[in-house]
Chain A
Amino acid sequence: MGKNLNINVHHLTRVEGHGNIVVNAKDGRIEKIRWEVPEAPRFFEAMVRGHSYEDIQTIVSRICGICSISHSLSAIKAVENALGIEVSEQTDMLRHLMHYSEQMQSHSLHIGYLAAPDFFGAPSVVPLVSKAIDVVKTIVRIHRIANEWSDLVAGRTTHPVTIIPGGFTKVPTPEQLVQLQNTLKNTIKDINTLADVVLSVASALPKFERETEYVSLKQTNPPTYTFYHGDIASTDTDKAMPVKNWQKVANEYMTEQSTAKWAKWHRESYMVGAIARFNINADLLCDEAKQTAKMFSLKKGCCNPYMNTIAQLVECVHLFHASIKLIDRILTKGLVSEKVKVKVRAGRGAGCTEAPRGILFHEYEFDKNGKCLAADMCIPTNQNHANIQKDMEKLVPQIIDEGEDAVRQKLEMLVRAYDPCISCSTHMLDIRFKK
C-alpha cells in the first residue's frame, strides 16, 4: 500500500540557526524532499569593507557564537598572509591550544546537549537531568573545562580578544598552563565515561550509508591530525589543493531553497566536518583515540553521516591527549612576552582552519593603509548543505514505510549529525510532514 507523508519541520530545534525540512509523499511516491535554509542573511562580506586589518577578526568572529575562535583564526591567518606577517613558534603553539579548546567546547556541546537527547529518546537535555543526572553532570563538567580553557588562552569563552595580527595581546603564565594540564589529565576519565555512555546507546544511530566526497585539511610536514595547518585534501583525489585556491574547491552557488550558499567540488556534493577529517587523517590520531574509534567500529572510509557525532567523540579523546603534549612543548620552550610590530602594505590573502563542523575559508584584500577593500568567507555548513539534501533524497525512499514520525525523527537526527551552524551559513531547520 502506498504511503503518504507530509513532513514540515519549520525551524528545526537543537541546532545552531534556522533550517526547515519539507517532505511530501503521496501513495508512496515522493513529490518533494527539501532541505531549506531561511536564516536572515547578515552580509558580513559587505560589512567589513572600510575597516582596518586590526578590526577584521573582531567583526567576523561574530559570524558564529559557537566557532568564533575558528573564524578569528581563519581571519587572522588571511590578514597575515595578505600583509606578509610572520608569527613566532610560541604564537603558533598557543593558537593551536586555543583552537583545540574550541573543538572541545563545540564537540561536547553537540554530543552532550544537541545530539544525545535523540539517543535517549528525549526532546531535550532538560528531562535527562532527572533521568540520568550523573551523565548530565559529566557532560556539564567536560563542557565547563573546555570553556575555562578558552577563557585562559583566548581571554573569553566566545569571541576571543587575545589574538591580534602577528601574535597575542596577553599569554598565559606557566603556572596557569600547568594547572590547565593537570585539569585535562584529571578529565580524561570523564571523556572515557562519556564514550562508554554514548556506546551504550549507539544502537539509536541509523544505519544509513551514501558514498560521497569528503574534504578537510591535511598536514604532511610534520604529519599531524590537523585542525590548523596544511592543504585542502579530498577522498576523491590524491592531489591536495593549496589554501589560496580554496575557491576552486568550494565552487559556491546560490539556490532558491536557501539564503546560504551551497558548494560542490568533484561531484554534486561533498561533506566536511569530523567524519571528513577522520576519513582523511585517521592514521594520525593518537593511540587512545584510535582505540575509541575501534569501540564504535568506526573505520576510514565510513560513509554513514550519522557517524559524524562519533567521529567528534574520537576527536575529543585525541584533543585531550594532544593538548597535554602541546602544553609540555610550550612549557619546555618557555613563554616570553613578544612585542608585535606590523608593517602595513597592500595585499590579498586567504586563511583556513578546521572549525569543529568542518573546513572554513576566509579571504581579504587590503589597500596600502591596511583598509579592507573586499572579503569572502566560505563556511563549513554551506559546504554541507548540498550533501544534506542528497542524503535526504537517498534516505527517505529507504525508510518511507516506517511512518511519518520515524521519518521525521531520522531526518532531524540526520541534520543534527552534521552539527550545522546555520547562523554561520547564515541560519537553518524546519521539518513538515504532509498527510
Chain B
Amino acid sequence: MTEKPRVAIFDFACCEGCQLQIVNLEEEILDLVSAVEMVEWREAMSEQSHNYDIAIIEGSITRPEDEERLWLIRSRAKILIALGACATIGGINKLKNNFALDDVKKCAYGKDANMPHLETDFTKSVPEVVTTDYCIHGCPIDRKEFSYVIRSLLVGKKPEIPIYPVCVECKLKGNMCLWEAEQVCLGPIIRAGCGARCPSSGFRCFGCRGYIDNPNVDAAKDVIERYGLDVEILKRKMNLFGSKQVHTNG
C-alpha cells in the first residue's frame, strides 16, 4: 500500500473491552496510529467518515437494523476484521440463544418487555452476517495479537493465527495441568494465541477464543472420564462461550 490505509472501528453489542485493548497498547498505539489514518473510532474520537479501507468490527449482531448497518460497512471496506469474541463467535451474547426471545425480554425488563425499542433477535457473530477477512479472537483480544495482525496487513502479509489448542502454549509455560486441580479446563479444544493467560493465572480456560478448526472432542471426553467427571459438566462449560457456536476459519 503506497498511501496510508484508512482505518475505521465500529462497535455493536458488546462491552467495548476489545477497543479498550487497542488503547491499552499505550506507547505502541502512538506508532500504530501514525502508520495508518484513523478516520472513525467513536469511543476515542469525534471524527467520522464513510471512506475507509479497513473496517474493524467489535460486538455481536442482535437486531435487524444492526445487520443492515454491517452490510453497509462491508460494502465500503476493502478488508473487514472481526475484533474479539462477540464479533468472531458471538461470545457471551450467544447465551441468549439458549432461551426463547420473549422469555429473555421478560426476564430483563418485566412488564415493559414489549416496548418496541427493546426488540431483539438471536445473536449472530460477524462472519454469520458478512464475509469476514480476518478474525482477532479472544475476550478480550490480546493486544499484542491485534498489533501483529495490523502490522502484517500494513506490509501486505497474511497474519498467521494459531490452529493448535491452548494446551500447547500452557505446556510450554510449564504450568501444572488444571485438570489435576479438579478444574474443567477447555484448553484441549480451544484455539491458542492467548499465551494460555487464564490457566497461567490458575483459572480454567473457558473458551473465549473459540474452538480450534478440528477440535478433538473425543479426546476431551476421554480426559473427562479419566478424571471421573460427568460429560454434562464439560458440555455446560463449553456452553459459556460456545453456545450454539459455528466454527470460524482462523
Which A residues lie at the B interface, using CB under 8 A?
11, 13-18, 38-52, 55, 58-59, 62-66, 68, 109, 113-114, 117, 123-126, 129, 136-137, 140-141, 143-144, 147, 155-159, 161-162, 164, 169-170, 254, 256, 259, 261, 423-424, 427
Contact = CB atoms under 8 A, between A and B. Distances in A.
A17 B16 CA distance: 8
Interface string B95-131: 1101100011101110010010110100000000000
Interface residues of B, number: 60
Nearest to B123: A42
Contacts of B93: 42, 47
Interface of B: 11-21, 23-24, 26-27, 29-30, 33, 38, 41-48, 62-63, 66, 91-93, 95-96, 98-99, 103-105, 107-109, 112, 115, 117-118, 120, 139-140, 197-198, 200-203, 206, 236-237, 240
A126 B48 CA distance: 13
6 contacts: A14-B45, A40-B120, A64-B17, A65-B19, A144-B27, A161-B201
B201 A170 contact: yes
Contact of B20 (A14, A15, A155, A158): A158
A43 B46 contact: no
A348 to B, nearest CB: 16
B57 to A, nearest CB: 14
Contacts of A59: 92, 95, 240
B114 to A, nearest CB: 11
Nearest to B113: A254
A359 B16 CA distance: 20
A256 B13 CA distance: 20
Given A65-B17, A65-B19, A46 B38 contact: no
A68 B201 contact: no
B63 A40 contact: yes
B120 A41 contact: yes
B23 A65 contact: no
A64 B11 CA distance: 13
Contacts of B92: 47, 59, 62
Q: Which of A46, A49, A147 has the most CB of B within 10 A?
A: A46
B108 A45 contact: yes
Contacts of B63: 40
B15 A63 contact: yes
A11 B46 CA distance: 10
A43 B140 contact: no
A46 B240 contact: no
Given A65-B14, A109-B23, A143-B23, 17 more contacts: A13-B42, A42-B13, A42-B96, A43-B107, A43-B120, A45-B107, A50-B98, A52-B236, A55-B237, A59-B95, A66-B16, A68-B15, A68-B17, A144-B24, A144-B26, A144-B27, A161-B197
Contacts of B107: 43, 45-46, 49
B108 A43 contact: yes
Given A46-B103, A62-B91, A156-B201, A40 B66 contact: yes
A124 B45 contact: yes
Given A169-B202, A256-B115, A40 B62 contact: yes
Contacts of B117: 38, 256, 259
Nearest to B62: A40
Nearest to B27: A140
Given A140-B26, A169-B203, A46 B104 contact: yes
Contact of A44 (B62, B108, B202, B237): B108
A113 B62 CA distance: 29
B198 A155 contact: yes
Contact of A254 (B24, B95, B104, B109): B109
A47 B13 contact: no
